[in-house]
Amino acid sequence: MGGQLATGLRDVTTDLAALDGAGWWAVVVDYEGKVTCARFDDVRRAPLPRPSRPWHGPAADAWTTSLDQPAYEAGVQRIRDHIERGDVYQANLCRIMSAPLPGPQDPLALAVRLAEGNPAPHAATVSLPGLTVVSASPELYLARSGDVVESRPIKGTGVTADDLLEKDHAENVMIVDLVRNDLGRVAAVGSVDVPELCAVEEHPGLVHLVSTVRARLATGVGWPELFAATFPPGSVTGAPKSSALQIINRLEPEPRGPYCGAVGWVDADRREAALAVGIRTFWIESGLLRFGTGAGITWGSDPRREWQETELKASRLIALASTGGN
């Protein structure tokens, strides 16, 4: 994670309060709230290690999706109906893609493929008993330096900047307001700031609109309180968050798991951290390779275009993870 290699697993806990203690921790929190915090004894700057064997992914045509195109587009329309009734302003609709692996795999081999074909600022590989996650996330959920925390929500996606619509900017601003509100619940009064709004960032194969929200934590706020105020991340839920979560739960047939959760590291000794939103993220579960993709839905959303956005976000990474991928 972040150019750091952690080995020598000491202990694993589900208690977020441990992150306010001592040591260096790898952290994975499922979208549904399952917490895994793993403390390591040996942490050093290092390149991505060589895998033990080459990656052999699923067949390219073996992937299935929890929502096919007609079901996804129908879900988009249902969210628009909720918006029309005033239930919600924006909601993120996601689908989970799955394919069987041909046998046990070294997750580092997939990480190498992603690093070469889809480099990402918050790439991470976590291999623990019962948990394997390989992420190429471009999005910062929470960074921390002492009492200062920062979030960089992404909303708005296109092949080029010319593809970004007024709808994308409106969606980004709505989520920025949500993140400001979330951080404001645990921040020192008057410390929440937005130093950058709707900046265009280029990533492999697409562009995003990215904003930055920064705050200084109030006295006595620890990791449990910070997660309680901000999780799940606003960019993958919607606004208002409580209403969006209810709608998402009704429309999505499968749990998101690590997708749309948090993946990253916490250095409790230095009071530093970087946690990514678990997007562009693979995980291995019961012999299946899983991957999530989604889009933010507003009143201005066109169902077909939103489906195409989920395809755009997934296509490059699914190709890399599949047999015959580049």
Q: What digits encode the pLDDT tens for the residues 193-206?
A: 999 999 998 988 88
Q: What DSSP designation does 187 have?
A: B
Amino acid 118: pLDDT: 93
Q: 74 Cβ partners below 8 Å, 6+ apart?
A: 303
CA distances from 121 to 96, 104, 107, 170, 279 (A): 23, 28, 18, 25, 12
Residue 201 annotated as catalytic: no
* For range 40-58, the mean pLDDT: 96
- In this model, does residue 66 exceed pLDDT 70? yes
Average pLDDT over residues 135-148: 97
Mean pLDDT of the chain: 95
| Calpha distance 326→312 (Å, rounded) | 16
pLDDT score for 245: 97
pLDDT average, residue stretch 112-139: 96
The pLDDT of residue 326 is 40
102-116 mean pLDDT: 96
Is position 155 annotated as part of the catalytic site?
yes
CA distance 144 to 152: 12
In 183-287, where do the E strands start and end?
Answer: 193-203, 206-216, 238-239, 262-267, 272-277, 281-285
Residue-level pLDDT at 206:
87
Q: Is the pLDDT of residue 231 over 50?
A: yes
CA 203/CA 27 separation, integer angstroms: 24
Select which of 32, 73, 150, 155 is catalytic.
155
Q: Which of 139, 150, 252, 306 is catalytic?
A: 139
Residue 325: its pLDDT value, please?
42
pLDDT band at 323 (very low <50, low <70, confident <90, very high): confident
In the prediction, which pLDDT does 324 show? 56
Which whole number is the average pLDDT over 160-188? 93
Residue 114, token pair as written in the block: 């992603």
Total residues found in the chain within this entry: 326
Q: What is the mean pLDDT of residues 56-82?
A: 97
Of the candidates 64, 94, 124, 99, the residue with the CA atom closest to the CA atom of residue 281: 124
* Residue 127 CA from chain centroid, whole number: 18
Question: CA 42 to CA 306: how far, in whole Å?
Answer: 44
Query: What are the chain's domains?
Result: 4-321 (3.60.120.10)
Classify each residue of 94-117 as buried b or exposed e, where b means 16 or more C-beta atoms within 10 Å of its C-beta.
Answer: bbbbbbebeeebbbbbbbbbbbeb
Query: Sign of the CA dihedral 280, 284, 289, 295?
Result: negative
Provide, rounded to the nearest whole percent, the portion of the chain with pLDDT above 70: 99
